[in-house]
Chain A
């Protein structure tokens, strides 16, 4: 549904996106994660044919963004960084106007459907300027869906929303996924990406990593185990002089140990601890959070760039 090939965009000397190779399959939610200025919005703008790439190309819903921009625009629904609605016009008229531009046939019915779905029907005749931020965001989402696109490009869909509205938007993205739509989700919100995305692409001008949340955690977090002890004491930390152990720290009755490879290191570690007189209650793998992986990768990419 979305495929980019060496996609890049420069603004004069500044490189916004470089050599981006990505693929989002039908019915997949692909999250683009990265700090401010990482190129997420520029990528969305290129994929929605608002900006043209300066290198590479991409195909969205089977259409080339460089050769068939009109067909791409017709095939995608875009939620821009800010809702971008006409404040003086009513919620209903905003949707009808965009429906007319997209050539939606049964505009009135579709507008009613989405206004009801998002709980905005009672406010349909109110000027958008009088709606809350959450309502405007929902209205912008309704606009993105009005022409029934197979591909949705959502740029920070929950930014600035209260927890309740953000929850509603996230639930809605889950529904889009269940309907088989392809969603490219740009976000800073790591728990949101982890909850919604099938795969996550970490971006900092270039693609840094790509995988499912679990794959990313396993691939980049290193291996850690937690040993729960009956008789914890600080002496254990200093005495763990095994080559398989990269570091250790004691937190309460839990000994956190960084190891080289779980398969071979854990038996050696347990043996050594028993030798040291430790009474072991439990040994378990400790999984890094997505935030830890993200920070580690971003730090690494920064060092590489420096």
Chain B
């Protein structure tokens, strides 16, 4: 636990010193919260069914945010170590692969989720201000569970996929480039929300949560297997 905490802390300290990371972490939540609020304002005089569709779209942004925010930090996680030549001294310490990977996964995930939740709360305030009340649809249990319970699973999945990419690339720019693609598998479940393919009820949230949990566990194991510390040390110069 001590080593995981040390990794998380150091990742944060480094991330706040990278302007590109700071920009992507702060700009996107502000932009999407503003845009979602704008949708609410646009739909304030529409019939209830049309207003519900707009709210649905606005809510999906808050499922996307925790997936996208951590990617810039996650993309840098392994390749950044390679670039600075710090991976070898790091692997010479008693740290185990799973501790390193978990620390590096938690570091981008935690702020991503907290920022997304904060953005959602800001959106609730803005909606209340625009409509004079908060529609029951937004604060329904399935939606709240989706935002506060499912998003960590979604974010972890996206982060792990990005870290796999980061451990297989040798260039930071390539890692950033690929990280946007890495978000795609994590975004697939969100299509269900926007496409209204199923009813967003507690049963659906439960099934999706279970599937994501399994996917996260399998991806974590796969990422560990692919990590190959020896290959990274000897092949990457």
Contact = CB atoms under 8 A, between A and B. Distances in A.
Chain A complexes with chain B? yes
Interface of A: 11, 45, 48-52, 70, 73-74, 76, 78, 80-89, 93, 97-98, 100-103, 140, 143
B2 A86 contact: no
Interface of B: 2-3, 5-6, 9-10, 13-14, 17-18, 84-96, 229-230, 233-234
B94 A48 contact: no
Contact of B3 (A78, A89, A101, A143): A101
Q: Which of B90, B94, B229 has the most CB of A within 10 A?
A: B94
Contacts of B86: 84-86
Contacts of A101: 3, 6, 90, 93-95
Contacts, number: 77
A73 B93 contact: yes
A78 B89 contact: yes
Name the 4 nearest CB pairs between A and B, nearest first. A100-B6, A101-B93, A84-B89, A88-B17
B102 to A, nearest CB: 14
16 contacts: A50-B91, A50-B230, A52-B230, A80-B88, A80-B92, A84-B84, A84-B88, A85-B84, A85-B86, A87-B84, A88-B14, A88-B18, A89-B13, A98-B93, A101-B94, A102-B93
Contacts of B6: 97, 100-101
Contact of B92 (A48, A52, A86): A48
B205 to A, nearest CB: 38
Given A45-B233, A84-B89, A73 B10 contact: no
B84 A50 contact: no
A89 B90 CA distance: 15
A68 B212 CA distance: 36
Given A74-B94, A88-B17, A100 B2 contact: yes
A26 B93 CA distance: 22
